[in-house]
Amino acid sequence: MHLVRSPLGASALPPAVLCAVLQGVHGKFEAILTALALATKVSVGNRLEAGWRQAARFHPSIRPNTLPRRLPSIFDPIPRLSPQDRINMASSEVISVPYIDIQHDALAVLDDVEQGTVMREDIWISGYKAGSSSVHGKARVEMQEGGGASLTPRDGINVERTSKTNFLVTVPALQVERLPVRFPRQVIHPPYQKKTSLTPALQINSLAYSPTKHKLVVGGPDGYCALLPSGQEARVQEETVLLKGHVGDVLDVKFFPSGEVILTASSDLSIRIFGLDGANPRTLKGHRRAITCTAILGVGKQILSGSKDGTVRLWDVGGAKELRAWSTEGRAPVEALVLLDGPAAVAELGFGIEDEWAVLAFTQAGNAEVFHPTRKAESAPGRMALGVAGQLLTVAYDPESKILATGHSPGVVSLRLLSGLKDGGTSPPTLIRRNESPVYSLAWAEGDLLMGTAAGLPCRLGVRENEEGKMEVTVKEELAGWDAVGVDGFAVSPEGVWCGGGDGAVRRY
């Protein structure tokens, strides 16, 4: 797909134009890559894999980390909403929330002007809201006498710089008033070397933070997993510990509660336990397809895992053995797990379950099933439909507010109380959407919802339940600095919010 980017470069065309170009050649993509493979005597499979990963960087409906999970069908047509999905979406009230996109390298432009490299230059700022005309403005950056740079906005947008990395943006036409737009305070580039020309570029599939050790763990393609220092002055290249062992994409990473042990899951069908020194004392195997998600029970003597093979499995970590396995209805692939740890948390479901814990397994089709220790493997599935069109891609639950958030491929986020899952709930969920880009990642931070999409544009949303029992949502912050690449994960730390995604960098806000 370098043909799309050259010779003008990736930033020469707007992302929407690049996506349109890619969509136009999508039907011929396999034939093109096959011809290249034959010409260079490289295996077609490797060419297809490398090409698909490149394509994923330009088209929001293609996820790089789906490749190892569904390789035989990677050249299916680009997903579209079915007519029934469109009817279902139209019948539900979807709340459109505005979003602000600011030139991803605006800080570099400001630095160039302040240092006298250039005397003046424009940066662009755009505002969007479904149902309203988009607003595309600019701000002239000029050197001031005595040093520094001034910002002069125009074309329907006002912008103020409040600190080196923070701005306030106003777009009157969209009723956006002094919305904070924050650029990262720190950017970490994990050490990564491509083994061959076909090795995919680094993409952060998952990340986690240890508050006790102040370290990050990230999972990426082809078995890449690394423990990173998070300090502002850390020597990343020298202090990084590579966690070796996986041979497939690392799709989920977590720290055990102690912060000294790491849990990883991969498309290579294995779960691994690592120490901070990189030692791998335990490897758990039993799943038959990619392992997409995990959950840690208590202090970590037992863990749960969910997989594309349609099973949820309970493991004894110390004995490195499987204790139980449950299957979803129809062996539907599991995309996410939400652990309810403790009788009070389990009681929120309202099913009368009296176990110490229960786990909700969410499938790509948009259903949820509950599993618990006393549920027999052969018992009735008890599937609960979420009632949201499109594929389910990510889930986040806030134990404090009891709000469950699910992200879907049409760009919709569904919000509901956990108790609303039972029998479909007494009221429909609150549906929100910023744009039509698939929602890749959700996480809760101090009662706010962090949201990342296939087109970047991560943000912090304020969510609260009003007196009528409905969810009210406001955009509290835009997290800028992303050049139209997917945001695949968040990690919350006392020092701020970390984001990772398609460009391989980890950013702290």
Q: pLDDT by residue (tens digit) across 52-90? A: 444 444 444 444 444 433 333 333 333 444 444 443 444
Q: Enter the tokens of residue 360.
A: 């909700």
Does residue 261 have a pLDDT over 70? yes
Residues 137 and 260 in one domain: no
Q: What's the pLDDT tens digit per position in 321-374?
A: 999 999 999 999 999 999 999 999 999 888 888 899 999 999 999 999 999 998
Which of 143-179 are b and which e, b meaning 16 or more Cβ less than 10 Å from the residue's Cβ?
beeeeebebebeebbbbebeeebbbebbbeebebeeb
Tell whether 509 is covered by a domain.
no
Tell whether 356 is covered by a domain.
yes
Residues 135 and 229 in one domain: no
Domain boundary among 91, 109, 143: 91
Domain boundary among 91, 120, 139: 91
Q: Which pLDDT score, from 0 to 100, does residue 61 have?
A: 43
- Contact at 8 Å (CB) between 307 and 273? no
Does residue 197 have a pLDDT over 70? yes
Residues 82 and 128 in one domain: no
- Contact at 8 Å (CB) between 371 and 345? no
Confidence of residue 426 (pLDDT cuts 50, 70, 90): low
Residues 156 and 55 in one domain: no
* Residues facing 478 on adjacent strands: 181, 459
Q: Which pLDDT score, from 0 to 100, does residue 92 have?
A: 57
Residues 306 and 219 in one domain: yes
Q: Enter the tokens of residue 156.
A: 């329907």
Report how far residue 95's alpha carbon sits from residue 130's, in angstroms, rounded to the nearest whole number.
9
Q: Which pLDDT score, from 0 to 100, does residue 382 have?
A: 65
* Mean per-residue pLDDT of the chain: 84
Residues 374 and 294 in one domain: yes
Residues 134 and 164 in one domain: yes
Domain span including residue 224 = 186-190+201-503
Residues 114 and 8 in one domain: no
Tell whether 181 is covered by a domain.
no
Q: What's the pLDDT tens digit per position in 169-194?
A: 999 999 999 999 999 999 999 999 98
Tell whether 180 is covered by a domain.
no
Q: Which pLDDT score, from 0 to 100, does residue 21 have?
A: 41
Domain boundary among 62, 91, 120: 91
Q: What's the pLDDT tens digit per position in 129-152?
A: 988 999 999 999 999 888 889 999
Q: Which pLDDT score, from 0 to 100, does residue 381 have?
A: 52
User: Does the global pTM surpass 0.75?
Assistant: yes
Report how far residue 136's alpha carbon sits from residue 311's, in angstroms, rounded to the nearest whole number.
48
Residues 106 and 143 in one domain: yes
Residues 323 and 210 in one domain: yes
Name residue, tokens 């006298």: 116
The CA angle 70-75-81, to the nearest 5 degrees, is: 90
Of the given ranges (124-138, 416-430, 437-451, 483-497), which has the lowest mean pLDDT? 416-430
Residues 409-423 have a mean pLDDT of: 89
Residues 345 and 469 in one domain: yes
Does residue 508 have a pLDDT over 90? yes
Q: Which pLDDT score, from 0 to 100, does residue 423 have?
A: 61
Q: Which pLDDT score, from 0 to 100, does residue 227 have?
A: 98
Residues 479-498 have a mean pLDDT of: 95
The domain that holds 381 is classified in CATH as: 2.130.10.10
Number of domains the chain contains: 3
Report how far residue 407's alpha carbon sits from residue 414's, in angstroms, rounded to the nearest whole number.
7
Could you tell me what percent of the chain has a pLDDT over 70? 80
Residues 450 and 323 in one domain: yes
Tell whether 179 is covered by a domain.
no
